[in-house]
Structure 1
Amino acid sequence: MEDAKAAEQHTLVIGMSTSPGRGLLPALRTRLATLCPSARPVLRQVGWADPSAGLADGSSDVAFVWLPLPDGDRYRYEVVAREPRLVALPHDHASAARAAADPDGAVDFADLLDEPFLALPPEAGPLRDHWLALDARGGRAPRIGGVVASAEETHEAVANGQGVVLLAAGNAPIVVRDEVIAVPVRGISPSRLAVAAREDDDRPAVLAYLAAAKIGAR
């Protein structure tokens, strides 16, 4: 019983909505072992409706999250990746042809304004707005072609022509396959992936994981 309690005390639950990839998990695990050897990291998958990946309700101790976070002042974070946003679309989409003819292989966001977009669940709040690029629409409301809650749903919805979707460059491999492609988009800001924790959580393992993220921040 005492051994079980001790193990629970040292367990660090790491929330994520999809695998962060980019070599982040093994790199942070190695750094954590040096900074806080007693910590036992455990991964936890959280649905896309919770942009805090379990931080908000306390089911995760730290989490990989996309910024901006709802109630951002509740959290501290370290940005671990800054990447351009791409648009995923069917290979025979008109914008794919435009990108192929463009010297940069890109499309202008202005040319996508009338397209139906796939959106995160409404509960995602400002993160939903970010992936719809509301700040680059000049006040025009987006056309919502569907709501997606997983990478697989996103791939299928794009492949079926329900809409296009913005995604971080590093996440392209989880959506782009078969007849779905992704091309760069001009006119929108980059995405930011962060490791976050609750602002008032000062446990050594939590602070060590944030420190490990800061060491490798890019």
Structure 2
Amino acid sequence: MDVHGRDLRYFVAVAEELHFTRAAERLFVSQPALSKQIRMLERTLGTPLFERDRRSVTLTRAGAVLLPYAQRGLAEWQAGRDAVEAVKAAQQAGLLIGMSTSPGRGGLLPAIRSRVTAEHPEALLTVRQFSWDDSTAGLADGTSDVAFVWLPLPEPERYRWTVVAQEPRLVALPETHRLARRAAVDFADLFDEPFLALPKSAGPLRDYWLATDARDGREPVIGTEVSSSEETYEALVGGQGVCLLARGNAPLLVRGGVVTREVLGLSPSRLAVACRVEDDRLPVHAYLRAAAGVAGL
């Protein structure tokens, strides 16, 4: 025995109005069509649902028993439809891509974009630059949907990511620095140098770019804090310290008065595309898959 949603809507409308004409108007159908549908439902169920006479319409005992179930069923169906519409809207919504440094690196960003839009042509991808104060590039507070980030991330259990580049860490120096004439620098030779540091809000990434794990327990000397490539460049040429950076970011700083040199004894840096673990929208998944594909993973 199959009862359609339309049958339940018609039954509930008549049961709540207790008037066929008003129920028909509410449903935007003709009264004869509504009466016919109610009779068909009664035949399907094998029992009358309404007592009718010229002056009134009342529920039978069977109709009264059925009504709350029909109302709940319609409410659940509407809730289900609303949930589906919410998922559809989320899947079609644009993605805000956060970054705190240009991904550059051989066209990484446009290559990922082309793969995502090929799979989801409706997706609108917007890029936003974030300060170095936020090492998650907007992921932590939900401002961005996916982000290019340097590992390690704070609270890593909140995120999933795919690494898109591994690059040696270089040291940026004023061109007049005593170590600038070397082709490569042992990190031990930098222990006593003042370093430019990320803000403390950058969390573990601050320690990473200070290479605290490679200092044999020595505390780094902090020359000043920096929150952008421009601040870093000005601090370098001003002699306020040296800093570590990924090889792919060297073009941001190698201008007049600054040079970079390879650093021996440090692990490579890792650039990743990340999202929040609970974000299961299809374009987000597509962006991470595209990032892995472009990186050759």
TM-score normalised by the shorter chain: which range applies? over 0.9
What CA distance in whole angstroms lies between the structure 2 residues aligned with 1:211 and 1:38? Answer: 17
Report the Cα distance in structure 2 between the residues aligned to 1:10 and 1:184, rounded to whole angstroms: 43
The equivalent of 2:101 in structure 1 is: 18
Pick which of 114-123 and 26-35 moved more. 26-35
Q: CA deviation digits over 1:130-150, x for unaligned, max 9?
A: 000001001100000000000
The aligned amino acid for 1:156 is E
5+ unaligned residues in a row in structure 1: which ranges?
A: 1-5, 100-104
Identity %, equivalent residues: 64
**Structure 1 match to 2:203:** 125
Q: What's the counterpart of residue 256 of structure 2?
A: 178
* CA distance in structure 2 between the partners assigned to 1:45 and 1:9 by the alignment: 23
1:69-99 Cα distance to aligned partner (Å, 9 max, x none): 00001100010000000000011111112x1
Higher-strand-fraction structure: 1
In the alignment, which of 191, 210, 215 is matched to residue 269 of structure 2?
191
Q: What is the CA distance between 1:37 and its match in structure 2?
A: 1.9
Displacement of 1:155 in angstroms is 0.5
In the alignment, structure 2 segments of 5+ residues that lack a partner are: 1-88
Q: In structure 2, how many angstroms separate the alpha carbons of the residues matched to 1:38 and 1:92?
A: 52
Secondary structure of the 1:154 match is helix
Aligned AA for 1:157? Answer: A
Q: 1:33-67: per-residue Cα shift (whole Å, max 9, x none)?
A: 12222211001111111000000000000000000
Counterpart of 1:38, as a letter, is E
The separation in 1 between residues aligned to 2:201 and 2:251, in whole angstroms, is: 25
CA deviations 1:119-166 (Å, max 9, x no partner) are 000000100000000010011000000000000000010011000000
Question: What are the superposed Cα offsets for residues 4-45 of structure 1, whole Å, 9 maximum, x if unpaired?
Answer: xx6995210000112111111111111111222221100111
Structure 1 or 2: larger helix share? Answer: 2
* Preserved CA contact (<8 Å) 2:136 2:147: yes
Q: Retained in 1: the 8 A contact 2:171–2:261?
A: yes
What is the distance in 2 between the residues matched to 1:64 and 1:213? 10
Do residues 70 (structure 1) and 154 (structure 2) align? yes
Q: How many residues align?
A: 208
Query: TM-score by structure 1 length?
Result: 0.92
Structure with higher Rg: it is 2
Runs of 4+ with >3 A deviation: 6-9
Name which structure has the greater RCO, CA cutoff 8 Å, separation 6+: 1
Letter in 2 for 1:163: G
**Structure 2 residue identity aligned to 1:142:** P
Q: CA RMSD in A?
A: 1.5
Q: Distance in 1 between matches of 2:177 and 2:95?
A: 44
- Tell me the SS of whatever aligns to 1:196: strand
